[in-house]
Structure 1
Amino acid sequence: MLISMKEHLSLVSLQSLVFGWWEERVAVQETWRWNIRENGDQWGGLPPWTLKAAGVACRELDCGSAVSVGRREESSERPAWWIRSDCVESGSALRECAASSSSSSSFLTLTCSDSVRLLGGTGLCSGRLEVNSDPSDPSWSSVCEADFDQQDAQVVCRQLGCGAPSVLQGALYGEGEAPMGTKEFQCGGHESALLDCSSASERSTCSPGTAVSLTCSEPGVQLVGGESRCAGRLELEHQGEWRPVGEGYPPWTLKAAGVACRELDCGSAVSVVRREESSERPVWWIRSDCVESGSALRECAASSSSLSSLTLTCSDSVRLLGGTGLCSGRLEVNSDPSDPSWSSVCEADFDQQDAQVVCRQLGCGAPSVLQGALYGEGEAPMGTKEFQCGGHESALLDCSSASERSTCSPGTAVSLTCSEPGVQLVGGESRCAGRPGAGTSGRMETSGGGFPPWTLKAAGVACRELDCGSAVSVVRREESSERPVWWIRSDCVESGSALRECAASSSSSSSSLTLTCSDKLFQPNISVSSSMYGVSGPQQQGFKAFRGSTFTISCSIQPQYPGGSFLLSSSTHNYTQPAVNHSAHFLFPAAEPAHQGNYSCVYHVSAFSQNFSSESRLLSVTVTGVPSDPEPFIIRAVVLPLIQLLVSVGLYFYCKATRGRRPIRQEDIELDYDDLGVPAEEEGAQGAE
């Protein structure tokens, strides 16, 4: 027996239902029917209702679990209540999530399972089983494990719109508070509802820990029309009906597609594309944000009609698990598509060329970290082959391989981190201003009309990922041409996901997003020069000045913004100079002990109506009365003057000796002076004297 909303409840009754919880139950063809208003005529304004939200409403109505949620069109416009799905899913009461609307041409129809429900599980298809055997008395009781078998479980799973039972165990999801007093059910497994089964006498009590807990498999999900079972149009089964999945609210991202690929046991998500269709047909809208939160696809589904469908491509043979995003994690491989079982890879069987192939296959950038057990060992067996890739292959299974290894040492399961695909800001005045664009696979622009609107918080995450400092502004730009774009969801970016994970394909947009980031300031350089040591670069071991000597500390920075100033700072002194040609020089004409300390250069600049600063490393300055290293002083003050004295004395005696000699032939003079390296003209001048 199912419960849906009564079809012709007046607005007064509706107000009582939503705000006062006055309930009217009317038996119509052995079905309980109720009524509540939908979110309004336009589904794009507020999130469409999902089974997850419907489950909250069913529990609040004491009507079991949610089975279906649909939309009914009406010909008349009349006042209605809008109850936001995301608000209900957050745990708020229906009344808290209601907003008055002037009119609506449609309303929402829910179907709840009036006689069975699963509580305390991980979703709509798992939990502690409770039964309501008397619709006139909505009280619930647990079921004893001894009174429930596999055939009974098949009926309950079918009644809840779930797949076949996979786990039947006592107290898996707790004992609960419901009394243990149900009948023993005797189902054949073909019945549509548990109360349709025959039953034996009621049992008054059960042993502790024997309250039935049930896990049903999730309804079928498949990809059809692609080159493999892991690529194609996404379809979802619900109550025996297969429908395509249309792009709902908000648009699907790679992060959501990754959840679908894992549920399909198809590795990691590579792409998600919206396909336009010529005819409008019934589809399932599966909310991207609901899927990303960890809910099953079915819980996030809402019935609708659409002119588009979603096409996913998953990496059927490789996947990364347990990492921080789509491009990092523990590597697992499926070598046989007909047998979707996964195994880890031994570190000794995997090298940089293999990593390049895997990163390329996943749509990621080049490998940056290749390390054993960085993201844990996992549960997959260690039995893969040794791969021998050249680095140019498009898929890991295209590489040749050696014999299979049966085991590996603990801690050697390969963990891989690929760089995120290139994203840059294009069309602006600097690398940190402009439209977000992909550096490898064409333009990646965000639509200003996407959901939700971009905030400075989201822009700040993007600026940090681009290594561009803080966000200054985010502006929506109108454009005259319609062209394909990427929508990068603001809420997804704010949650900490990479830009690529939050990208959703859109067929066209008349606007784009322009970001302006502050640009991360370069670190200033600090150097020193002195009258004793000359000009030098950065002093790694510190600088030692002789008391009374002159030295200069210079600050400089790579050209980035015009103007600015430098602060030369220590624990006892602060000096400020404007930046001239992106540098400043601080002169110390006579070094004193008071000048000792650790100095740093701090660059200050104002840009985009904000102030930014960046600090250099520290430079240690020591002033001593006697140089601690006298060698340079000895060379300058003693050795060099001594050399000059010896040269002068030698020249004096040489000149004196040559003045008393007899005149000799000109050619002999030239020969003698040629040997000494003195020009012949000068000798001639001396002979004349």
Structure 2
Amino acid sequence: MLFDNIFLFVSGVFSLSILSSIICPDSVRLVDGTSLCSGRLEVKSDQSNQWWSSVCEDDFDQQDAEVVCRELGCGAPSVLQGALYGEVEAPMWTKEFQCGGHESALLDCRSSGSARNTCSPGKAVGLTCSESEEVRLVGGHSRCAGTVELKHKADRRPVIGSDWTLKEANVVCRNLDCGSAVSVGERKESSDRPVWLINPNCVQSGSSLRDCAISVSSSSVLYFTCSDSVRLVDGTSPCSGRLELKSDQSNQWWSSVCEDDFDQQDAEVVCRELDCGAPSVLQGALYGEGEAPMWTKEFQCGGHESALLDCRSSGSARNTCSPGKAVGLTCSESEEVRLVGGHSRCAGTVELKHKADRRPVIGSDWTLKEANVCRNLDCGSAVSVGKRKESSDRPVWLINYYCVRSGSSLRECARSYSSSSILTLTCSDLLVRPNISVSSSTYGVSEAQQQEFRVLRGSTFTISCSIQPQYPGGSFQLTFTSSNTTHNYTQPAVNHSAHFLFPAAEPAHQGNYSCVYHVYVFSHNFSSESRLLSLTVSDPSVHHHFIRVVLLLLTLLLVNTALCCCCKVLTLSVV
């Protein structure tokens, strides 16, 4: 296999016969890494000899790393750690580098006058540079938004690729140190031009963009929007994870945020900035602690701001943050998805709001396994998945089943498409809850409110089940449960109700009752259960005794009232 960029180090000398057309840095190199942009740093200060020197971590900092990455034609430094790519027998560079970060080569930087004699084991500089200089976003409102361009084979072109979603766009955003992907789209140009075609499956496999690029001609180009100052890391989707913030775009460092400096209004701003739903969970260390430094001031958002860094912050700085206090945030996605046009909120056409655009969803080979929309909508589980054909094509979100099956959210998997087919879904919690009530010859009618209802032993009572008109037909099952038995009684639904008559109440009727409505619609059986009604059967003698006491009290009240009236009459006659 032939590579366009091949570095041969033979006794520290480049094989010019192979690399006659490539200009290589002749004073720095990264060795034993996984790519040209990673490895243990070695420096050759004297071109008259062939000796390379390792660099001690104590003599090298972030600004020095920026110069090395630039000199090697790589992106910004992403990892700087001693012994990351092993120790070796190379001699050690003896002076401290003092780069400003703007130099084009490491040996252009100033260095300390004093020489270091020793370097502790495990301190040889290991450096990983991103490949972000090879990819960039242009034409947007910031360096973190715009058309995707890739430099490959010394040729910079726009990128195009079918089925790109937020999941793959996150790779580009991370390489650019731009946080998380917020939106992915395609823009149509007036005519075809050379572009790099990149299949998202290749990117998902872990390959670099350059490894995935194929030369084609197209009038469409990809454009991304990344969040350039906040991101959620180590979560299960772009809308969950440990919160990290980059306040200074001139450096590459992200900071965690302490839970004590962050509240619900701050969380609302972050979720909005990432184009997610409202915050649903805010908890320290929910997604780990991480090694990032800690943001030192308290956020004071009003909740209406469009970005976290637009919020005011406290003047005083926090020096420490207790372990387990790094903010973990989950933004909901349920308000982004809904079912419309059905007989209830748990059935109908699947619609997704993504990039401020609400459209129907279409997807090939969807099964009940992928239809987790029901759970997101608190509608139970999926009962049926289908498609409905419309008269003409319209903008839709195309969501492939394999992306959803991998655990990604719907918005991560969505890409813009046009189709006349749309996805329909029916969930198990399709029916409203039925009502249950009881009436007796003694106490009248009462609806169940999870409270006890009393009937007299030997009296007639009726338990009624009813439901709001949704579908014709169906049946009601009255379920009775006591401490030692269970009974079920079934009647067809007539005018959406059924009445269960009990001619004589007995102690055996004492217990809990519920109504379950069953109906067959959409080629599936559905059911819905009412609240519990607790029934107690009282002895008539207790009831009669109670009535006698009440009558006695009423009699005494009447006698007392009559005596008062007589006294008033006598008083008036005397006067």
TM, length-normalised to structure 1:
0.59
Contact 1:527 1:539 in 2 (8 A): no
Is it true that 1:586 corresponds to 2:500 in the alignment?
yes
Contact 1:487 1:505 in 2 (8 A): yes
Which stretch has the larger CA shift, 385-394 or 431-440?
431-440
Match of 1:488 in 2: 399
Identify the residue that residue 455 of structure 1 maps to in structure 2. 366
| SS in structure 1 at match of 2:329 | strand
| Shift, 1:255, TM fit | 2.4
Match of 1:602 in 2: 516
Matched, 1:548 2:458: yes
Quick one: which of 144, 154, 161 aligns to 1:247?
Answer: 161
Q: Please tell me whether residue 405 in structure 1 is matched to residue 318 in structure 2.
A: yes
1:110 is aligned to: none
Q: How does 1:599-638 map to 2 (within 5 A)?
A: 599-623=513-537, 625=539, 634-635=545-546, 637-638=547-548
Q: CA deviation at 1:575?
A: 0.4
**In the TM superposition, what is the alpha-carbon distance from 1:215 to its structure 2 partner?**
7.5
Structure 1 residues 323 and 523, CA, compared in 2 at 3 Å: closer, same or farther? Answer: farther
Aligned to 2:516, the other structure's residue is in SS state strand
Does the residue aligned with 1:445 lie in a helix, a strand or coil?
strand
List runs of 5+ in structure 2 lacking aligned partners: 5-16, 19-30, 40-50, 56-68, 91-125
Alignment of 1:515-534 (within 5 A): 515-518=424-427, 520=429, 521-534=431-444
Task: Give yes or no for contact 1:436–1:513 (8 Å, CA) kept in 2.
Answer: no
The one-letter code of the counterpart of 2:356 is: S
CA contact (8 A) 2:513 2:535 kept: yes
For residue 511 of structure 1, the aligned residue among 416, 420, 423 is 420
Q: How far did 1:459 drift? A: 6.2
Alignment deviations for residues 373-424 of structure 1 (CA, whole Å, 9 cap, x no partner): 2222222111232222222211111112223323212222222222224322
Distance 1:561 1:378, change over 3 A: farther
Asked if the contact 1:123/1:299 (under 8 Å) is kept, the reply is no
Show the counterpart of 1:639: 549
Q: Which amino acid aligns with 2:420?
A: S
Q: Which residue of 2 aligns with 1:417?
A: 330
Q: What letter matches 1:642 in structure 2?
A: L
Partner of 1:396: 308
Name the CA shift for 1:148/1:487 in 2 (closer, same or farther; >3 Å).
farther
Counterparts of residues 166-181 of structure 1 (less than 5 Å):
none
1:595 and 1:163 mapped to 2: Cα distance? 78
How far, CA to CA, are the matches of 2:201 and 2:470 in structure 1? Answer: 40
Partner of 1:424: helix, strand, or coil? Answer: strand
Aligned partner of 1:367 in structure 2 is 279
Q: Which residue of 2 aligns with 1:569?
A: 479
Structure 1: which amino acid aligns with 2:366? T
User: 2:179 is paired with a residue of what secondary structure?
Assistant: coil
2:353 pairs with 1:438: yes
Query: 2:119 — aligned with what?
Result: none
For the 8 Å contact 2:338–2:351, the answer to whether it is kept is: yes
Residue identity opposite 1:587 in structure 2: L
The secondary structure found in structure 2 opposite 1:354 is helix
- Cα separation, partners in 2 of 1:495 and 1:560, compared to 1, 3 Å: farther
Q: Give the Cα–Cα distance (whole angstroms) in 2 for the partners of residues 256 and 550 of structure 1.
A: 69
Structure 2 match to 1:221: 135
SS state at 2:359 partner? coil
Tell me how far 1:490 sits from its aligned partner. Answer: 2.9
Code of the residue aligned with 1:498 in structure 2: it is S
- 1:361 offset after TM fit, Å? 1.0
| Structure 1 residue 433 displacement after superposition | 1.2
Query: SS where residue 443 of structure 1 aligns?
Result: strand
Q: Secondary structure at the match of 1:261?
A: helix
Counterparts of 1:577 and 1:148, CA distance in 2? 91
Q: How far apart, in 1, do the equivalents of 2:236 and 2:247 lie?
A: 25
Q: Does the Cα contact within 8 Å between 1:489 and 1:504 map onto a contact in 2?
A: no
Output the CA distance in 1 between the equivalents of 2:324 and 2:76.
37
When residues 561 and 290 of structure 1 are mapped into structure 2, their CA distance, relative to the original with a 3 A threshold, is: farther
Query: Are the structure 2 counterparts of residues 269 and 224 from structure 1 closer, same or farther at C-alpha, using a change threshold of 3 Å?
Result: same
RMSD over aligned CA atoms reads: 4.4
Alpha-carbon spacing, 1:415–1:556, altered in 2? closer, same or farther (3 Å): farther
SS in 2 for 1:444: strand
CA distance in 2, matches of 1:437, 1:168: 43
Q: In 1, Cα distance between the equivalents of 2:434 and 2:331?
A: 31
Query: Cα distance 1:547–1:301, how it changes in 2: closer, same or farther (>3 A)?
Result: farther
Question: Residues 554-580 of structure 1: CA distance to partner in whole angstroms, max 9, x if unpaired?
Answer: 333444333321111234321012234
Equivalent AA in structure 1 for residue 447 of structure 2: G
Q: Distance in 1 between matches of 2:198 and 2:255?
A: 31
Q: Secondary structure at the match of 1:496?
A: coil
- Provide Cα deviations, 1:340-376, integer angstroms capped at 9, x if missing partner: 3111112222222222211111111222222222222
Q: How far apart, CA to CA, are the structure 2 residues paired with 1:2 and 1:395?
A: 47
Partner Cα separation in structure 1 for residue 490 and residue 278 of structure 2: 45
Q: Which amino acid aligns with 1:243?
A: R
Q: Helix, strand or coil: the match of 2:293?
A: coil
Does the CA contact (< 8 Å) of 1:524 and 1:616 recur in 2? Answer: yes
Q: Is the 8 A contact 2:474 2:493 kept in 1?
A: yes
TM-score normalised by L of structure 2? 0.69
Change (3 A) 1:302 1:332: same
* TM-aligned CA deviation for residue 295 of structure 1: 5.1
- In the alignment, residue 410 of structure 1 is paired with which amino acid? P
Alpha-carbon shift at residue 336 of structure 1 (Å): 0.9
Partner of 1:500: 411
Q: Which residue of 1 aligns with 2:198?
A: 286
Native 8 Å contact 1:527 1:555 kept in 2 = yes
Structure 1: stretches of 5+ with no match in the other structure: 5-29, 32-117, 128-146, 152-156, 174-183, 185-212, 658-670, 676-689
Higher Cα Rg: structure 1 or 2?
1
| Corresponding residue for residue 472 of structure 1 | 384
Q: Equivalent residue for 1:196?
A: none
- Structure 1 residue 502: Cα displacement: 1.7
Partner of residue 169, structure 2: 257
Contact 2:400 2:413 in 1 (8 A): yes
Identity %: 61
Contact 2:448-2:532 at 8 Å conserved across structures: no
**Aligned counterpart for 1:276 among listed residues 170, 175, 188:** 188
Q: How far apart in 2 are the matches of 1:561 and 1:148?
A: 82
CA contact (8 A) 1:462 1:493 kept: no
SS of alignment partner, residue 639 of structure 1: helix
2:147 pairs, out of 233, 240, 246, with: 233
Instruction: Determine the C-alpha separation between the residues in 1 that align with 2:165 and 2:355.
Output: 19
The number of residues matched between the two structures is 469
Structure 1: distance between partners of 2:84 and 2:175: 26
Rounded Cα–Cα distance in structure 2 between residues aligned with 1:263 and 1:271: 16
- Superposition pairs for residues 45-84 of structure 1, below 5 Å? none
Whole-Å separation in 2 of the counterparts to 1:623 and 1:290: 71
Distance of 1:510 and 1:124 partners within structure 2: 44
Deviating more after overlay: 405-414 vs 523-532: 523-532
Distance 1:340 1:215, change over 3 A: closer
Q: Which residue of 2 aligns with 1:318?
A: 230
CA contact (8 A) 2:450 2:532 kept: no
Query: Aligned-pair distance for 1:605?
Result: 0.9
Which residue in the other structure is 2:2 paired with? 2
- State the Cα deviation string for residues 118-142 of structure 1 (Å, max 9, x = none): 99x9899989xxxxxxxxxxxxxxx
Report which stretch shifted further, 334-343 or 578-587.
578-587
* Deviation, structure 1 residue 540: 3.4
The alpha-carbon deviation at position 274 of structure 1 amounts to 0.3
